[in-house]
Structure 1
């Protein structure tokens, strides 16, 4: 009987290995410049650091090549008091078809007193059959500056991709001094192409993005940002120092064409080079 059990175990299909990774990064002020205070990379998450500015720029890399069912990735970043930290990605992230389970991506950001953080990942591309849950939380000091962009491509139009079976949950929560400042949730499930074709939802859009800018001078940027928006975009002040932009576009190229000048203006022309490659 024991031999039969061992044989049955040997005949069972091997479980597909899943990607796991965690990146923890903190910066500190060192005179007029910023420096790395703490860095820990584990599993599939890595980081590169170009040397090109007084602030710290980190390129976050998922070495697994994409996300699929069962993957678990996490990023934890802290801009220490008076420091500047910019985080981006090497290229677009990809959420592939999941044969089982859900991929999860968790991001925790902290911006301390007098500090600045730019969270500027490149596009997330959803493939048909993707199952992904993302959650981002940010805690800001009273005088912290923060710029966030989250672009999403709903299948690559140039490749004829159509999303007929997708589950995508996305949650963003921003607090200032432990008080809720901004909260946003997105839930797409099923035939996303048909849903986005509806005039009240997407009017045929194949890509979308939101930008959140927290800064004392946010209100002064509103007019310039609105001048850069297409008819399918909008910008509003949700608080005296909180500017939010939402965009819909036909495809990833059209989305990026609109995003680049907006991000240049809000980041004071410090958009990472990887965005332009």
Structure 2
């Protein structure tokens, strides 16, 4: 393992406890150094702070805790920055009501980003944003310069659907479906995966984030998983610095519970073989 990987592992083991609520509560309450404070050392003011939740593992950060972090780490330092609340999975909660958006508390400093791709029509690739009025025209120009123009047909179809169809009931039915599939994946992981692995227990969304022993390279393991008829996203895809090489993301939104169980069983054998080849005991 090279020095940078070793440093990353040490950082992960020391500062990344599994319980994200505990982690963020600790930071908010005790004002430990954070990535946001590190930005202040090299810039007088960050332009944007992204409130990406528990990405990439999609663990939910309590909204009151997130608001407290922003308040203490930004405003108490005399800094002001736009906050971007990217929340494409916000309506897809299973175990508890979806939390209120921070945008509802601060309409002048929070940009809220949503998407219809996760709830209604994935193929249309249409999203939406709530922005401060002062930024509306600038955002339209930025959108036009990057994508020219979203499809008018797609936008009109979505507008008609929202106006004339019971879309809230439709999303509720999706949530019920995804909850069954999430439960199937968690049950299969409990039953078949090595004890050395850990994973999140998502309260919504599409994915489970799995963490394997640090000696396992999930990107290098992909061909063997494909041979076993299982696909996943390696953890490194979600980081800019190669971090997360021992993690992977599994999706439960499309397969049936039976296929999910079969897939987890097959992947568990691949993981066990990887561990065995590296002398890792379960």
TM norm structure 1: 0.27
Higher relative contact order (CA 8 A, sep 6+): 2
Q: Which has the higher helix share?
A: 2
* Structure 1 or 2: more strand by fraction: 1
**TM-score of the pair, normalised by structure 2:** 0.27
